[in-house]
């Protein structure tokens, strides 16, 4: 059992395209799938499932969970963990900006309300306050890209798993005020949500500039990794910084556009802006 590699980590061995199993990743994704479909089955049993919303929620969940599987498993997970910072950045974008909103969209409003009822109101409101979630996202983004942290965590499976799950948890928290209907906040409508996402496009500027414009390699993990064909360490780092900025902005502006479109459609119909 101890020879099994459960989660990707920087191993310091020459890269080969020989398939490698990561059962920890499979168990994690399988756990998500089982949890989702158990909830779904319960709602069908209780006669609460409406076919059109169920199809949409299932699609959101499957795309989100599929994206997680794709970037955590071989080969992307292995390359990102030990060979290319740019691939690690793609993992960051999926874990924090793509998969979380899709997973949150797959939860029924009824279940959100059940979550809110079970949690103490004060701490729940504080933790999911947009200023807190944005600040948490900013801090986690900066700390988890700081070279000593990356170089300490990446060589171990547990460290890399901690990093991946921290990004996912931070992403869920970051998207909560945008997607989740609870807690209800007066004045928190489409314009403020769009403002929140626009602010989020700016908070990675420091880390982006640090990665993109530092001439020398920052991460020992990638600098001293066996060479990956086709890209130098320096180009890889620059690409990672650009992906963070451009990829992150593309995802956030897509979300902003969707919110704007929904706001416009609801205004046209004369519906009140959700608070």
Partner 1 sequence: MHEPNRLMRSCRLAFSAMLIALAGVACSREDGSADLDDATGWYGSVLEKPVPKVDFSLRDTEGRPFEFASETEGFLTLLFFGYTNCPDICPIHLASIAAVMRDFPYELRSRIKVVFVSTDPERDTPERLRSWLDGFDESFVGLLGTVEQVNDIERSFGLAPSFVDPAQDSESYMVGHAAQVLAFTPDNLAHIAYPFGTRQSDWAKDLPRLAREGFGSGKAR
Binding site for partner 1 (CB under 8 A): 12-14, 126, 129, 131-132, 134-135, 138-139, 141-143, 145-147, 151, 203, 206-207, 210, 214-220, 223-227, 232-234
Q: Which is nearer to partner 1, 13 or 275 (CB)?
A: 13
Distance CA(5)–CA(30), nearest Å, equals 17
Min dist. Cβ of residue 49 to partner 1 (A)? 38
Q: Which is nearer to partner 1, 216 or 275 (CB)?
A: 216
Tokens standing for 271? 């519906």
Q: What's the sign of the alpha-carbon dihedral 105, 110, 116, 118?
A: negative
Min dist. Cβ of residue 108 to partner 1 (A)? 29
Q: Which is nearer to partner 1, 6 or 124 (CB)?
A: 124
Min dist. Cβ of residue 259 to partner 1 (A)? 21
Min dist. Cβ of residue 236 to partner 1 (A)? 12
Q: Which is nearer to partner 1, 69 or 208 (CB)?
A: 208
Min dist. Cβ of residue 135 to partner 1 (A)? 4
Q: Which is nearer to partner 1, 99 or 140 (CB)?
A: 140
Contact assessment for residue 208 and residue 241, using Cβ atoms and an 8 Å cutoff: yes
For 36, 128, 174, the CA distances from 119, given in Å and listed in that order, are 20, 12, 18
Distance CA(130)–CA(177), nearest Å, equals 6
Contact assessment for residue 189 and residue 275, using Cβ atoms and an 8 Å cutoff: yes
Q: Tokens 């929620």 correspond to what residue?
A: 57
Q: Tokens 């459609």 correspond to what residue?
A: 265
């Amino acid at each position: 059992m101890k020879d099994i590699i459960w989660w990707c980590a920087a191993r310091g061995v020459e890269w080969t395209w020989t398939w490698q199993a990561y059962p920890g990743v499979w168990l994690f994704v399988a756990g998500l799938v089982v949890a989702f479909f158990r909830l779904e089955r319960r709602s069908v049993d209780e006669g609460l499932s409406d076919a059109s919303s169920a199809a949409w929620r299932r699609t959101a969940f499957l795309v989100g969970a599929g994206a997680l599987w794709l970037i955590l498993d071989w080969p992307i997970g292995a390359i990102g963990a030990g060979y290319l910072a740019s691939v690690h950045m793609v993992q960051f974008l999926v874990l924090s900006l793509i998969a979380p909103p899709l997973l949150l969209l797959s939860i029924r409003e009824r279940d959100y309300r059940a979550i809110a009822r079970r949690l103490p109101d004060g701490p729940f409101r504080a933790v999911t306050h947009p200023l807190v979630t944005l600040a948490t996202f900013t801090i986690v983004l900066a700390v988890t890209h700081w070279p000593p942290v990356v170089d300490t965590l990446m060589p171990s499976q547990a460290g890399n798993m901690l990093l991946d799950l921290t990004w996912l948890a931070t992403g869920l928290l970051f998207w909560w005020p945008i997607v989740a209907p609870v807690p209800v906040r007066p004045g928190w409508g489409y314009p403020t949500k769009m403002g929140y996402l626009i602010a989020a496009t700016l908070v990675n500027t420091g880390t982006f500039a640090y990665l993109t414009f530092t001439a020398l390699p920052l991460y020992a993990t990638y600098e001293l990794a066996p060479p990956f064909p086709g890209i130098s360490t320096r180009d890889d780092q620059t690409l990672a910084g650009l992906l963070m900025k451009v990829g992150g902005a593309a995802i956030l502006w897509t979300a902003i556009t969707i919110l704007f479109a929904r706001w416009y459609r609801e205004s046209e119909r004369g519906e009140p802006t959700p608070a």
